[in-house]
Amino acid sequence: MRLGLGTAQFGSDYGVTNAVGKVQPTEVARMLQLAAGRGIKVIDTAAAYGESESALGRALGPDHPFSLVTKCQPVAAQRIGVADALQVRDAFLRSLERLGQSSVHGLLVHQAADLRKPGAELLVEQLVALKKQGLVHRLGASLYGAQEIPAVTALLKLDIAQVPVSVADQRLVADGTLRRLRAEGVEIHARSIFLQGLLLADELPPALAGRARPLQRITAHARNAGVTRLALALGFVGAVPEIDVALVGATSCTELEQILRALDDSPATGDLSHLAVHDEELLNPSRWPKTAAPSRV
């Protein structure tokens, strides 16, 4: 397993536990330098991540060592027409300009639901054309669950699948989805490995505080095992053989260094299936209620 750097925080105050806000340009440059020095190869971004692509474009040098993965602009229409598909193509071309790149390693459909809309084949045609032109090397989708895969793969051959995996969210490990994707040659990028920081937090937002019990079990297990929650989270994902890249987000070099040290020290975790969380409302950040302040776990 390799680490990849998620960059949502480069363009916005992403993360329910993010108390720092958007990463400043000087820190972006320092973080990229640190990532390059520690062998991180994959950088994940998206058109929807505020100013993230522009921040990367300003900080990346001409000879940078990274494989960049970005995501399509979501389609607002409920039925995709030719004009909608062309807008997605044009938005990607603007992403390339912001990133200062002639091509990217990966382009993902950001909302898999777009591929279930009438006319989705028009969108796929544009994506495949971008790949044939050499502007994109691999196509894929950002997925939330196994139920999305059949509709996606009916239209688009996945080169990359970005999926949520963590010691809390073990669904795609337990049901064999990752194993099947890997057998089909799909490059698997795991995201939300810290569940937007909830797995590492001493405090939860008030609206989620009532769902804290499963996370408290993970905290207790780490304490009893004599490891940090960070090392436990990284150790779990690192033990999943199908995962090619585990995406981590950070708001500073200090945080990224902590992650890298914990990865070096992460123990063999053994069977952690008993720590799996089965609360969909907790596992899916899109279902979390908005809240302004944290509450003690």
Confidence label for 294 from pLDDT (cuts 50, 70 and 90): very low
Confidence label for 12 from pLDDT (cuts 50, 70 and 90): low
CA distance 154 to 139: 14
Q: Is the pLDDT of residue 223 over 60?
A: yes
Give the percent of the chain with pLDDT over 90. 79
Q: Is the pLDDT of residue 232 over 50?
A: yes
User: What separation in angstroms does the CA of 132 have from each of 101, 121, 136, 138?
Assistant: 17, 16, 8, 10
Residue range 128-155: mean pLDDT, rounded:
96
Give the percent of the chain with pLDDT over 70. 94
Return the higher-pLDDT residue of 51 and 203: 51
* pTM, entire model: 0.93
Confidence label for 284 from pLDDT (cuts 50, 70 and 90): confident
Mean of pLDDT over the chain: 91
Confidence label for 264 from pLDDT (cuts 50, 70 and 90): confident
Assign 3-class secondary structure to 13-76.
CCCCCCCCCCCCHHHHHHHHHHHHHCCCCEEECCCCCCCHHHHHHHHCCCCCCCEEEEECCCCC
Domain residue limits, the chain: 2-296
Q: Is the pLDDT of residue 16 over 50?
A: no
User: What separation in angstroms does the CA of 196 have from each of 18, 127, 148, 272?
Assistant: 9, 29, 22, 20
Confidence label for 286 from pLDDT (cuts 50, 70 and 90): confident
Return the higher-pLDDT residue of 269 and 218: 218
The token pair that represents 229 in the structure block = 């929650």
Return the higher-pLDDT residue of 285 and 275: 275
Residue range 79-84: mean pLDDT, rounded:
98
Q: Is the pLDDT of residue 18 over 70?
A: no
The token pair that represents 234 in the structure block = 């990284």
Residue range 105-116: mean pLDDT, rounded:
97
Helix axes 253-265, 25-37, angle to 10 degrees: 20
For tokens 């993010």, name the residue: 18
Closest CA to 52 of 254, 251, 187: 251
Q: Is the pLDDT of residue 204 over 70?
A: yes
Closest CA to 144 of 185, 106, 108, 191: 191
Residue 234 CB coordination number (10 Å): 28
CA distance 59 to 182: 33
Among the residue ranges 34-48, 90-104, 181-195, 206-220, the one predicted with the least confidence is: 206-220
Residue range 95-112: mean pLDDT, rounded:
97
> In this predicted structure, what is the pLDDT of residue 73?
94
The number of helices, as runs of H, and strands, as runs of E, in the chain is 12, 10
CA distance 13 to 25: 14
- Residue 203's DSSP bridge partners are 296
- By DSSP bridging, strand 136-142 and strand 104-109 are parallel
Confidence label for 20 from pLDDT (cuts 50, 70 and 90): low
2-296: in CATH 3.40.50.300:
no
The token pair that represents 7 in the structure block = 């960059």
- CB 70 within 8 Å of CB 109: no
CA distance 141 to 133: 19
Confidence label for 207 from pLDDT (cuts 50, 70 and 90): confident
